[in-house]
Amino acid sequence: MSALGAVRQVIAYLVLLVVTFLICFPLIWAASTSLKSPKDVMATPPTLLPAEVTIENYRNLVTGKQQYYRADQSYVPTTAAPQHFTSWFANSVIVSLGSTAISILISTLAAYSVTRFRYRGRRIIPYFSLLGYMIPSIILVFPLFLVMAELRLTNSLWSLTFGYVSITLPFCMWLLWAFFRGIPIELEEAAMIDGASRLRVFVDIVLPSAAPGIIAAAIFSLIVSWNDFLFARVFINSIENLPLTVGVMHFFEGTHVDWGLMMASAVLMTVPMAILFMLMQRHLVAGFGAGAVKG
């Protein structure tokens, strides 16, 4: 590599480093604030690094204790105590995993049906599915709320689970349809000639071959369900059944905001999805890429 090429490479890496820092700065600031004492949080001028590192904010989230710093050097407990944070976290996990499981199960079977069986209208089903995904959620939320009210599922985790399925299922079905088209049907025919049943072929041949696409669809569904605010805000009215995205709004109390708790909860909300994305990034890229070019 020439000297000019080396300089260009160094400049490119420096630019990427600066852009990455700017993109990640909100999360860096949130993580730093979550490790500050209430006095450091309200310090003027604000500082990026805490003067004294403390995990009190995380301890308060786990133990259900909320306090804020007041000008007279006292800690005053508020009424918006985070005693429900662990239940909010559990609700988010349950609803996200439940909606993802239902979406993947239905979309996998639907995509396999469309690509392997012949029946009237099967060619337009994937496009109608994609059209359903393009409809804004705000248009769906109120009709779905009326349906949940008729089924007496409002204010329950079931309403959120089914609501999230209505968002994620169309895209998962379209993605897996595009992926299944690239799996050679000759593999299945050879296995069935050897005596394997359709179910055995589906489990032992099709699913392993479609694993990257299924993983990509599952990660997409999980992230959408984890981050949703609109459906949870409309469907749930009891504080115990809220997911994290809506529950943390209870840390706002009048003119006061416990920024230490807010930032600690933001970090705990972000870290699971960030770890999942880093672990599954290779499968995610492979699934989206294969589904986009195969067939």
Digit-coded pLDDT (tens) for 246-291:
888 877 765 667 788 888 888 888 888 888 878 877 766 665 555 4
pLDDT at residue 78, as a whole number: 46
pLDDT at residue 97, as a whole number: 94
Model confidence band, residue 108 (pLDDT cutoffs 50, 70, 90): very high
- Tell me the two tokens of residue 171: 């895209």
Contact by Cβ (8 Å): 237, 228? no
Model confidence band, residue 19 (pLDDT cutoffs 50, 70, 90): very high
Q: What is the mean pLDDT of residues 86-101?
A: 92
Contacts of 188 (CB under 8 A, 6+ apart): 116, 201, 205, 206
Q: What is the mean pLDDT of residues 38-48?
A: 80
Spatial distance between the Cα atoms of 147 and 287, rounded to a whole number of angstroms: 34
Contact by Cβ (8 Å): 245, 227? yes
Model confidence band, residue 104 (pLDDT cutoffs 50, 70, 90): very high
- Tell me the two tokens of residue 27: 């999360």
**Residue ranges of the domains in the chain?**
3-77, 85-293
Burial status of residue 186 (CB atoms within 10 A of its CB: 0-12, 13-18, 19 or more) = exposed
Q: Tell me: the pLDDT tens digits for 138-197?
A: 888 888 999 998 988 888 899 999 999 988 998 888 888 888 888 888 888 888 888 888
The three-class DSSP label of residue 256 is strand
Residue 253: what are its φ and ψ, rounded to 5°?
A: -135, 100
Higher pLDDT, 99 or 213: 99
* Averaged pLDDT of the chain: 82
Higher pLDDT, 248 or 14: 14
pLDDT at 294 over 50: no
pLDDT at residue 255, as a whole number: 62
| % of residues, the chain, pLDDT over 90 | 15
Q: What is the mean pLDDT of residues 115-127?
A: 83
pLDDT at residue 10, as a whole number: 87
How is residue 237 annotated by DSSP?
A: -
- Tell me the two tokens of residue 145: 């709320």
Place of tokens 């009237």: 120
Contacts of 199 (CB under 8 A, 6+ apart): none
Per DSSP, the residues of 27-62 read: HHHHHHHHTS-HHHHT-SS--SS-SS---HHHHHHH
Contact by Cβ (8 Å): 83, 105? no
Report helix, strand and coil shares of the chain as percent, to nearest 5: 75, 5, 25
How many C-beta atoms surround the C-beta of residue 57 within 10 A?
A: 26
pLDDT at 13 over 80: yes
Candidates 228, 227, 230, 251; CA nearest to 239 is: 251
pLDDT at residue 164, as a whole number: 92
pLDDT at residue 284, as a whole number: 66
Q: Does domain 85-293 have CATH number 3.40.50.720?
A: no
Spatial distance between the Cα atoms of 59 and 61, rounded to a whole number of angstroms: 5
CA–CA distance from 149 to each of 154, 179, 247 (Å)? 6, 37, 22
- Tell me the two tokens of residue 137: 């959620």
The secondary structure element, H or E, covering residue 177 is helix 157-180
Q: Tell me: the pLDDT tens digits for 202-242?
A: 888 888 888 888 888 898 899 899 988 889 888 988 888 88
Place of tokens 């705990």: 268
